[in-house]
Structure 1
Amino acid sequence: MPVYGRGLQKFRGAPRFKKHGHDLGSMVEQASLQTSFKQPAGSGRSIGTVISFGSTPDIYTFHFVISNALDASRQVKVGKHVCVLENDGLVIGQIVNLVKINEYFLNANTLKESRPQVNFASIFPVDQWEYVLGEVNVMGFYPVLDGQKKGGAASLPVVEKSIVPVSPGSSVQAMIPELLEKFLGFNSLDGLHLGTMDVDGLPVKVDLAKLFQKHLAILAMSGAGKSYLVSVLLEEFIKARKAMPPVIIIDTHGEYTAMFNASNTKNKFPRTKIEITGGSFIQIGTPFLTGGSFFNYMPNMSPVQGRDLMRVFNELRQSKKKFDLQDLVAALESDAKLGKKTKEALEGWLYQLGQYGMFAATEHPRLDEMLKPNTIAVLDLSGLTSSKQKQIIVDYIASRAFYLRKNRSIPPFVLVIEEAHQFVPQAAAENAVARHTIETIAREGRKFFASLCLISQRPVNLSTTVLSQCNTQIVLRVSNPYDLDHIRTSSEKITPEALKMIASLPVGSAVIVGSAVNTPVFLKVRPREFLVDGKEGGLLEELEAFNKQP
């Protein structure tokens, strides 16, 4: 545990230090100009001075004393990004701790021997000996290039690993917003606006291609704002001026159905097509099923029985383009090669599947016709009571969409799965019919631009195989220690500092880690612009509405 205050000299403001013949203020301005930006007024000013403290500065950490000039202490908060000039570039870091020190009060014996009524401030200049010490974790090195490309286009440097410690006495400066955008990997022109950074106040505009380069996971405890964040993401899809990939939403609770019905998006944004299909209207195209589908839906079937079933199924598919489950049963009954016991077993399992009433000759909705750019398809499963029926629907939709995408019959798509831990559980479950298909998309979908967006309130119950393939994670408040540990083991880019803050995040705040950003970003999710909740109110309002029913 470091002992703050001992051996530190008193700082009464920080002068403008120079290093290697450069002034830090002009250096930041030069970096801003070389990235084709105009420096905003009032940004990039000095907030403190680097000091030697313990074994720092090193390439990972440095400490600085915050300047009292210009009341900089009010601007300096934990989480703020800062920079220091070093080796013709900027060492960029983030403040991880602030400690207020006053050397008058370092010695407990001094206070013990004093009289209680003594007011130190009236006798000694106590306030002049008080200062704030900041601890900074180094995040990278941003080289400032001397030349520019031909034709006047600015050269954009690449963030590198910092290999040289900052120098004691160097000036610590706040990051210019434009430079911070580039460092974090934001897309300020046409990125998806999800919110605002908690401390730096910068709009968080995430690049669509980076966000869905592989897969996305949105994790949070119940009531922390997962669905609200997804609705903000959908708003960005809806109001985008360019073509957006179709989105399939597995709506387990009917909240997206209610939201779109209440928001009247069809008239406001006619360019975006909203398709809502209730679970009881979903039909599975029997001719599109595969051998793997039958093994998933009928797990007690033996390999020999499965081989016989697929032989009859393939013969039926060659003779008829459209057929349903009843046609398949009839083909089994008329097949002379099958034994009596095999027929009875297969017919019994197919009869159980037929009780769901959703296996038909054609599928509904037609995915190849519905999944077009700028389309949001909501599959509302809230009216279904059978867990296995929901699993079969999710398995079919996921496998069918992935098949169509591999054959380039549909554009790149995003499959949003609410309560993902139910469909892709960590532990093996008999009814987890969709698990194999979703894990396959998680492993192979990137090659075909088939992206998953998994939403879960119990990360510990979510398959590690799938979660580890989600290169970007947006985590809202999670307090369960088992969930936190599961998130830590599945994402190498979550720092210990970020993990500590996740448990205390307020509702509506989140952290983005992974491929979409260059370093973890804490943000406050922005207010929705036009989508509204379809719910009528809370518990008391619902109770009052129920009592008014005839």
Structure 2
Amino acid sequence: MDKRGQIVGGGLKNILIRERSGDKLEIGELLVVNDNFDPEDLYKDRNYTILQIKDIEYKSQMSPAIHELLAGMELEGHNPDLGFVEPELANYSVAAAKPMLAVHQKKDKYETRSPKRLPNFFNPLFSIETEDLKFLKPKNTENSLYLGNVRSGSNVLEDLNVYINAKDALTHHILIPATTGRGKSNLVKVMLCSLLSSKDAGILVLDPHDEYYGRNDIGLKDHEDSEDFLEYYSTDPPVGQSKLIINIKSITPKQVKGLTYLTQAQSEAVYLLHNRFGENWIFETFNTHHIEGVHPKTLQVLKRKLENILGIYVKKDEDGEVKLGYRRSLFKGGVVGESTINNITESLEQGKIVIIDSSKLNDPEELLVGSMILEKLFYQYKEYNTDELRKKPVISVIIEEAPRVLGKEAMESPGGNNIYGTIAREGRKFQIGLIAITQLSSLIPKTILANMNTKIILGNEMSVERHAIIESAAQDLSEDNRIIASLDKGEAIVSSVFTKFAIPIKIPYFNDYIRKFQTGNDGKQEKVRTQISG
């Protein structure tokens, strides 16, 4: 084992470690200290603690004044050969580390618990190895979500994969907070690739950048099971995929209210229209100039709002009959697109991944499509009894720029009673969850952040955002502010109620990871997986 340092002081919050001369400890590095240290019998009936380095400082046996004098003499050329006597003893580094997990091993049995006592004073510490994490023994499980590999500082344990229980994690919501360029999209692609062959989860992906399917690059379409488990909808689909068309008859007043502000009079008007005309309420709104019980000005403003959201306008044919025109290719009338929402929800209930290319849609259109699908699924799942629900796959929706629908302003506005907020509060009871991606976690109310029981935290240089993430994490990350700020692209911390501790991970590059799932690859990933569970 590689000795890295020795305990020289501190307390349970911060254990002080003198760094071994010549070694370079890193922030975020995982170390192990044995409470019953015996080099001859290291892995039998063993108690040990896993620690993580939170900070590192210079220390010296000499006063700062002597350092400054010696530095000045060398800089000014008074004695260029000047040096320290036994510098490895006089000058050194001291790291502050936090105990993460206490482990008791008796032969092949492991017990883990939160650290409640200090390791033995003056004991040496070692680099963490796979042997130290043997309590994460591989289990036969298909219901798992791959996130990456255990990371210690910048060192990756390639033979130790990190999985969490997919059903639990997806239904209890996942938050992916990070600034631009830290690898959010790569992480989501890796997660989707891991889940694509599973029938236990249906994933709705609202893709505003058209980057997950892989229309012009490597993507989920290159997975060997994509033909059976992946569907792609776009207003401009490639050959063999589905055209995204929504029939206006499918749109309800509640969905309109969730996307735009309606006064009380306008809200009453849309429900009156829907009650009177049923699925034809939007057409009749544009087809008439007077509706009993609706003020003409209210009707006029309502038409303008619907026109802005849906891109609808009125035109007349050669016989003078009123027709609706559509400025955008998403919405149509007649019978076109009547089955789109049903087809998507059926695919999700079959455990498929459905990608909606929203790159050509504006914000209201993207959110409306997602709302229509989720609303139908939510109320379907709500109607199932316990036994029926248990047999259904869990449902999750990936939404980018999450504050648009989960932010304080969106949740508290008069029209903000949207289905995304409902799922955030109640969805886990009915096996429906969110995967919320955002740069601005601080805009999401604390009550919603607290419901996001798994957080995959990537690098973030904004102090306000780090504070919001740390405050709502499943584990105590109060000492991790600097670690989160220093995370490089592809590095993350997994804080979840389904893990024993906050696990530092390295996320693989998607283009490399998907090779394990491509036809003809002899190195296809084994079904025996390492699962970190609570």
Give TM-score scaled by structure 2 length: 0.71
Displacement of 1:252 in angstroms is 1.5
1:269-280 to structure 2, matched below 5 A, reads 269-270=225-226, 272-279=228-235
Quote how far apart the aligned CAs of 1:443 are. 0.8
Any residues of structure 2 matched to 1:86-165 within 5 Å, and which? 86=35, 89-99=47-57, 101-103=59-61, 105-106=62-63, 108-109=65-66, 112=69, 116-117=78-79, 119=81, 124-127=85-88, 129-145=90-106, 155-157=109-111, 159-165=112-118
Q: Deviations over 1:477-510 (max 9, x none)?
A: 2223333333344436362332223223323322
Q: 1:489 to 1:330 in 2, by over 3 A?
A: same
Give 3-state SS (helix, strand or coil) of 1:427's partner.
helix
Rounded to whole Å, the distance in 2 between the matches of 1:496 and 1:302 is 45
Match of 1:450 in 2: 432
CA change 1:188–1:128 in 2 (3 A) is farther
**After superposition, where does 1:222-233 map in structure 2 within 5 Å?**
222-233=180-191
Amino acid at match of 1:438: Y
Aligned residue for 1:476? 458
Give a deviation string over 1:400-456, Cα, whole Å, max 9, x none.
232233234863111001222333333359999676321110111111121111112
Check 1:79–1:343 CA distance in 2 against 1; reply closer, same or farther (3 A cut). closer
Partner residue in 2 for 1:382: 359
Cα deviation, residue 220, structure 1: 1.7
Please list the CA deviations of residues 46-83 of structure 1 after superposition, one character each: whole Å capped at 9, or x if unmatched.
544333x3xx3x33332233456xxxx53743323233
1:24-423 mapped onto 2 (5 Å cutoff): 43=1, 46-51=3-8, 53=9, 56=10, 58-67=11-20, 74=23, 76-86=25-35, 89-99=47-57, 101-103=59-61, 105-106=62-63, 108-109=65-66, 112=69, 116-117=78-79, 119=81, 124-127=85-88, 129-145=90-106, 155-157=109-111, 159-180=112-133, 182=135, 192-199=146-153, 201-202=156-157, 203-209=160-166, 210-238=168-196, 240=197, 242-259=198-215, 262-263=218-219, 265=221, 268-270=224-226, 272-279=228-235, 281-284=243-246, 292-296=254-258, 299-302=261-264, 306=267, 309-310=270-271, 313-314=274-275, 323-325=279-281, 329=285, 338=293, 341=296, 344=299, 348=303, 352=307, 355-356=311-312, 357=326, 358=331, 362-365=338-341, 366-385=343-362, 387-408=363-384, 411-423=393-405
Inter-partner Cα distance in structure 1 for 2:87 and 2:283? 91
The structure whose Rg is larger is: 1
Name the aligned partner's letter for residue 269 of structure 1. Answer: D
Contiguous gaps of at least 5 residues in structure 2: 37-45, 237-242, 313-325, 516-534
For 1:395 and 1:438, the matched residues in 2 are separated by 7
What residue ranges of structure 1 are gaps of 5+ in the alignment? 1-42, 147-153, 318-322, 533-550
Distance in 1 separating the partners of 2:468 and 2:57: 32
CA deviation vs aligned residue, 1:234-276 (integer Å, no higher than 9, x gap): 22223x5x43412111111222344576548367335643222
Aligned length: 460
* Segment drifting more, 59-68 vs 430-439: 430-439
User: How many Å apart are 1:343 and its aligned residue?
Assistant: 9.0
- 1: distance between equivalents of 2:139 and 2:491? 20
Looking at structure 1, the residues matched to 367 and 68 of structure 2 have their Cα atoms a distance apart, in angstroms, of 68
- Check conservation: 1:423, 1:432, Cα contact below 8 A: no
Q: 1:266 to 1:481 in 2, by over 3 A?
A: closer
Change (3 A) 1:480 1:162: closer
Letter in structure 1 aligned against 2:262: N
Answer whether contact 2:190 2:513 (CA < 8 A) is retained: no
How far did residue 325 of structure 1 move? 4.0
Q: Per the alignment, do residues 145 and 74 of structure 1 end up closer, same or farther by CA in structure 2, a change over 3 Å counting? A: same
Identify if the C-alpha distance between structure 1 residues 416 and 347 changes in structure 2 by more than 3 Å, giving closer, same or farther.
closer
SS at match of 1:246: strand
Say which SS state the counterpart of residue 74 (structure 1) adopts. Answer: coil
CA distance in 2, matches of 1:174, 1:110: 31
Report which of the two has the higher share of strand: 2
Q: CA deviation at 1:295?
A: 3.6
TM-score (norm 1): 0.70
Change (3 A) 1:131 1:187: farther
